[in-house]
Amino acid sequence: MSKTSIATNGNPDLVRLATSLFRQAAATGRRSLEPFELESLLTALGLGFAPGASELTDLRISLNRTREFGMVLSAGLGGLDAELDEGNFRRDRASVYAAAELTDADNFLALFKRTIAWQRIAAQAARAGKMPPEAALRACFDGLLALAAGPWGADSDALLPQHLELNPVCATDTIAVGAARCEFAPAPPRRLPRPTDKIAKLIHPKSIGIIGVSSTSMNFGRIILKNLMGSGYPKDQLCIIRPGETEIDGVRCVEGLKALDGKLDLLIVAVAASAVYELVDEIIETDAVESVMLIPGSLGETRASREPAAALAERINAAHGKPGGGPIFLGANCLGVVSHPGNYDSWFIPLERLPKPPKKAERNSVMLSQSGAFMITRISQNPWLDPRYMLALGNQTDLTHGDMLAYFAELPEIETIGIYIEGFKDGDGLDFARAVRKAVAKGKDVVVYKSGKTAPGMGGVMGHTASIAGGPILFESVVRHAGAIVAEDFNGFDDLFYVAGALHGKTISGKRLGAISGAGFEAVGMADSIESDSFAMEMGALESGTITALEDVLKAKKLDALVEVRNPIDINPGADDEAHLQIVEAFLRDPNIDAVVVGLDPTAPSVRALESSKLRPGFDINDPKSTVHLMPPIVERNAKPIIGIVDGGSLYDTMSARLMDQGVCIFRNCARGTRALVRYVEARLNADAIRRRPSN
């Protein structure tokens, strides 16, 4: 964002006019402007107003105050085209959206140029022998962003623009508006800031208390206690709040919060939901803890519980206005936290059902999820995701997605952050987008999946964690513009979170791909997978020196008569491990190649891919000439990203695991691996552009 951006500076004169128009309309009982008032506002924005004018370009430009993201600027198809379902178009083709705070006129114009609407405007200008109206559109976006920025003040009776739509619009040397609508509303209430510095106490507690541990049965509280001890948390730093008991499983018990001999860093609440309301009041009043984990479900998830759950959230919010900010609360309906640096696991899943062996030399990622089960299944199926911290947010009674992401964006040891979202609290979408932008500016990768993309899905979200799911297109556009990598489904999340962690330290300098395989279908599959809706890689043109080097490898391996040197290259099933990797290195040395995908051909008889071989004893992954031994050093010493493909059945699980354990990025399907790389390269190049903006 430029330092002189109107989006950040606002326009006081424009705001005074808008405020006057809104108050004038409100005095007559209206919440929208009449045509004569609209004309005054549009004139102040530098726009012409020609109601009912015909032959206008089908362009729509809107400024909307959304529940999640605050003011959002959007532009795209207008007129009758605007009524078409955006799902009929590829990403960024029908409309583009950006949080007003995170864009400026130049940035939004560049975003708008991805749309069909821009292509139509540019084609019409070319037909008339003119240049496209970039200056007029830039000025229009500038004015709308100035209106969004304010300054609107903090008065409780302030009236703010709610919805300003210009549709249709004619963009030539000037902007002419054929129809407009402007609605306004009082400023929405905001929750008090949470004392997020106390998240450090939550994830690195020096003392933990638990309420809800049974002395006679293995209830959730008792399982949590077992997991805490089983994960290595010191017994002498634990205590159980349980009247009438002195110890359970060797951990001391105290009568109540007032009996504590010091302030707890973390209190885990694993009681029935009905007992939570009174207990939270006691926690706030005694000021005996810094952070609280609310395990119980159903708070705010059923019709009967929504009103008392909302009142509970208000009491917690009010406590944040007191000196010290009061305790922070994670949950409710919260699976808990796994903190490897904090040396504790508070999930109520027995360790025997979800072991967490280290898969990375240095754990450098975080997983945040509204659903605990989402994390369980991801980690169970994909242990190489291997986060440093895993936190379930549940209902976001207090701590939100924006709070948690903003905190972890500041931790230098964190490189990748994966997040599962069902819905945002009011206004937290903007806090989240700000945190995404902050994380990306600091060099981190943020991978996001949001559920609730259909009407039944939205209904399921509300019943699970009491969330309100916003529109999926708006969400994806705003969060992706902020710099996040947005996954389309569960598999996409797994792939993108994994590839981000595996390739974070690699250099992404362009979008030219080198593709290598011993199977023709796989080479073609890689080439067919280099495009997404909004981005495309290209096959790099090999330099003459690279072609010569490849020909030498093929000749030495007696494959020169069978293989044509090209990109993508099909090197024949006769190529052994060494041939594959020598060709990989030749591609990596080529300045026209930015990344490599290589099919490792595990089923080929010349490749040492089996755990053991009866037919050829010793010709297996334990051989020093195997890919398992040869590839990791190549990955380590090269700055360019490499993705290996092991497309085969369970016989080749050990080969894959051994490579992944050594930091090699492995996929079991060429299309899936290539698509993940394409999405990641797009995100990294976008992040580089964000970091180059002066404000970052």
Chain mean position to CA 637: 29
User: 308: buried, middle or exposed (CB in 10 Å: 19+, 13-18, 0-12)?
Assistant: middle
Per domain, the residue ranges of the chain are 6-186, 196-502, 506-689
Distance, CA of 192 to CA of 285 (rounded, Å) = 18
* Domain at 6-186, CATH homologous superfamily: ATP-grasp fold, B domain (3.30.470.20)
Of 678, 483, 496, 689, whose CA–CA distance to 594 is shortest? Answer: 678
**Consecutive H or E run containing 366:** strand 365-369
The whole model's pTM is what?
0.93
The count of other CB atoms within 10 Å of the CB of residue 281 is 14
pLDDT score, position 300: 74
Q: Output the pLDDT for position 610.
A: 97
Strand 264-269 with 289-294, pairing: parallel
SS3 649: coil
Alpha carbon distance 532, 276 (integer Å): 47
Q: What is the pLDDT of residue 55?
A: 57
Q: In sequence order, what DSSP letters do the residues of 273-337 get, joined into one string?
A: HHHHHHHHHHHHHHT-EEEEEE----TTTSHHHHHHHHHHHHHHHHHTTSTT---EEEESS---E
* CA–CA distances in Å: residue 96 to residues 60, 92, 121, 416: 11, 5, 16, 26
The reply to whether 506-689 shares the fold of 196-502 is yes
Q: Mind giving me the DSSP string for 409-452?
A: HT-TT--EEEEEES---TTHHHHHHHHHHHHHHTT-EEEEEE--
Residue 695: the pLDDT is 64
Which residues are bridge partners to 186 per DSSP?
159
Query: Is the Cβ–Cβ distance between 188 and 427 less than 8 Å?
Result: yes
Q: What is the distance between the alpha carbons of residues 475 and 641, in angstroms, rounded to a whole number?
A: 30
Low pLDDT (below 50) residues in the chain? 1-8, 456-469
For the structural domain made of 506-689, what CATH number should be given? 3.40.50.261
pLDDT at res. 302? 80
Q: Kindly report the CATH class assigned to 196-502.
A: alpha beta
Q: 246: which 2 tokens?
A: 């002195």
